[in-house]
Amino acid sequence: MSRVVYVNGEYLAEEDAKVSVFDRGFLFADGIYEVTTVFDGKLVDFNSHIIRLKRSLDEIDMKPACSNEELLNIHRQLVNKNNLDEGFVYLQVTRGVADRDFLYPDDKTPTTLVVFTQKKAIIKQPLIERGAKIITVEDLRWGRRDVKTIQLLFSSMAKMQAKSEGVDDAWFVSDGMINEGTSNNAFILTQDNVIVTRHLSNEILHGITRVAVLKCAKALNLTVEERPFTIEEAQKAKEAFVSSSTLCICPVIEIDGVTIGDGKPGAVSQQIREAYLIEAHKSAV
């Protein structure tokens, strides 16, 4: 059965949904996206996603496509229309349709708003049970990684490199320091039981799950340090893990061929994951 998707004010069967070849999202990757997890038909951390969406739009000088209430309504309608119990809602807003020109079109050009749902097992994923093996790669993305733009080609290339090397994912590195994963934030638990993750800046996406992880870690009485860390520090860590909306918390068991801990998902990572899942279910709207 085909999905119902939302395109610029209309709910349509996915095969009837069309976007112009002149859309700046298509021609320039000139757009922003958000991915909101759905548990039990409810939206996890919706407000935080909307706040980040507004910030990303401001940073590229774009106006919101509609009000926050309308966005919530669209998300809920799609979840209902598609009977989505577990998975995610993807939202993409682009600067819309205009003749091809590097300069932004004037304000009258409407933006394109596309929203769709995707079924996905989020809580039970084989990768989370096994733990991920990752490689590190030089971070060759643009310098405004705090803006959640739809230009994801280099992240795709890094994931393809990981796949071709027989592992699950890659962490981006600048000057020997870990920035984040291809589509997740990176954490380690040091031998002294300190949770370390890179501080917020333009180098990384300000992950919504990252915030929740730090809250859970503090609630579990763990010390948290937001600072850069090296590949070597990560390889010597007791545990490592990543966070994202669609993985929640996923243990990392190998970095560049070096086994982390005993090569199994770490106990603290799992504790944080359980605490996160309880909170996410409770606060979903």
Give the interface with ligand PLP as residue ranges (CB under 6 A).
35, 180, 183-185, 205, 207-210, 243-245
For the CB of residue 244, give the shortest distance to ligand PLP in the complex, in Å.
4
The nearer residue to ligand PLP, 88 or 98, going by C-beta atoms, is 88
The nearer residue to ligand PLP, 112 or 197, going by C-beta atoms, is 197
DSSP state of 182: S
Tokens coding 203: 């180098």
The DSSP result for 188-213, as a single string, is EE-TTSEEEEPPSSTTS---HHHHHH
Of 263, 262, 249, give the one whose Cα is nearest residue 197: 249
DSSP bridge partners of 217: none
Beta strands in the chain (DSSP E): 4-7, 10-13, 31-39, 42-43, 87-94, 112-119, 132-138, 169-174, 177-181, 185-189, 194-197, 223-226, 239-244, 248-255, 258-259
Q: Are strands 42-43 and 31-39 parallel, antiparallel or unpaired?
A: antiparallel
The nearer residue to ligand PLP, 210 or 238, going by C-beta atoms, is 210
| List of residues 6+ apart from 223 with CB closer than 8 A | 193, 194, 195
Active site residues: 148
Handedness of CA 132, 213, 92, 5 (dihedral sign): positive
Coil, strand, or helix at residue 44?
coil
Of 179, 151, 122, give the one whose Cα is nearest residue 56: 151
Within 10 angstroms of residue 107's Cβ, the number of other Cβ atoms is 8
For the CB of residue 46, give the shortest distance to ligand PLP in the complex, in Å.
12
User: What gap in Å lies between CA 147 and CA 259, rounded to an integer?
Assistant: 33
For the CB of residue 32, give the shortest distance to ligand PLP in the complex, in Å.
12
| List of residues 6+ apart from 263 with CB closer than 8 A | 131, 253, 254
For the CB of residue 13, give the shortest distance to ligand PLP in the complex, in Å.
27
The nearer residue to ligand PLP, 82 or 209, going by C-beta atoms, is 209
For the CB of residue 137, give the shortest distance to ligand PLP in the complex, in Å.
13
For the CB of residue 51, give the shortest distance to ligand PLP in the complex, in Å.
11
The nearer residue to ligand PLP, 117 or 184, going by C-beta atoms, is 184
The nearer residue to ligand PLP, 71 or 98, going by C-beta atoms, is 71
